Amino acid sequence: MPRLSGSVVHWVTAQWQRRGLAAWLLWPLSWIFGGIAAWRRMGFRRGWKTSTRLPVPVAVVGNLTVGGTGKTPTVIALVGALREYGYTPGVLSRGYGATLTRPTEVVPTARPEAVGDEPLLIAKRTGAPVWVWPSRVEGGRALLAAHPECDVIVCDDGLQHYALARDVEIAVFDHRLSGNGFLLPAGPLREPLSRRRDVNLINDPYDRTLPDWPHTWRLTLALGDAWCVSQPSLTRALSHFAGKRVLAAAGIGAPERFFAALRAAGLQIETLALPDHYDFATNPFDGVAADAILITEKDAVKCVTWSDPRVWAVPAEAALDARLVSLVVEKLRGQPTV
């Protein structure tokens, strides 16, 4: 999705949740979009387009809808879970907004504008090799050449990147699920909901009943202790901010999920929803009267040079159901998906 103002994004998202006038007016275009996507998928199935298999198994974590759903914490959690099974994972990512000329390894000291904020966060949190490049096949080959010890690759996003063959697919949804059920631009779906996948993860802070889909589990996210962006070794429990003037800000796909989690932790907050992948080239907190400003870790990787002691990053820890991890491992060890 192009970078739009917050009010426009809010309006579009609201239209995608119902089958109102705007959705029906755009519905004919969704048939065109769906036809192009179906023809592309058929090209890979029939062999008209090449799907390349890397020499190690591949797990893809992505979504069928536009917008953030919780893929990054899922990737981080999956890397940890696979390590417990004895794997040595590497991670591939496109790197939203990355300015690169070749496949590149993401090191903890990399600039987020060069490699992307989400890959940088994954590299910092997991310590796993993380490589960025639009072509997942080229990126995977570069990763394995540099790190031959890696025996599994976790692909951050890329359900629709069919050029890379995969062994298991995990589709992450948030509380909006499939919205109005229409394809783009009439709805939020990149592909039909009927599209085959191995696992569904539902990231819903409101704990509503899970949809009746096969192999569907809840993605549980717990907020950890906040750390001070200007002094990362300084941490505080969220209860430390109770009773203070707190501004919560988030430049993620669905900022309200972050705000809801903070409220569930007992905090009274003012909120500032920023555009997804907000670059923080300018400080949106200048002149803000607040005792503390709580942001996501995805945003914090772009603010590490700031000296404002009021800015604290709040990590989100994902917990994966043991049955889900077992299914993923079975797929990685077994036959590839078709």
Minimal CA–CA distance to 319: which of 174, 177, 217?
A: 217
DSSP annotation of 240: G
Would you tell me how many other CB atoms lie within 10 Å of the CB of residue 154? 28
Concatenated DSSP letters of 25-80: HHHHHHHHHHHHHHHHHHHHHHTSS--BPPSS-EEEEE-SBSS--SHHHHHHHHHH
Would you list which residues are annotated within the binding site? 65-72
Question: Burial of 86 by CB count in 10 Å (0-12 exposed, 13-18 middle, 19+ buried)?
Answer: exposed
Give the angle subtended at the CA of 220 by the CAs of 299 and 175, to the nearest 5°.
80
Minimal CA–CA distance to 95: which of 135, 151, 58?
A: 135
Would you list which residues are annotated within the binding site for ATP? 65-72
Contacts of 105 (CB under 8 A, 6+ apart): 129, 130, 131, 142, 143, 146
Phi, psi values for residue 308, rounded to 5°: -75, 110
Tokens of 196: 């085959």
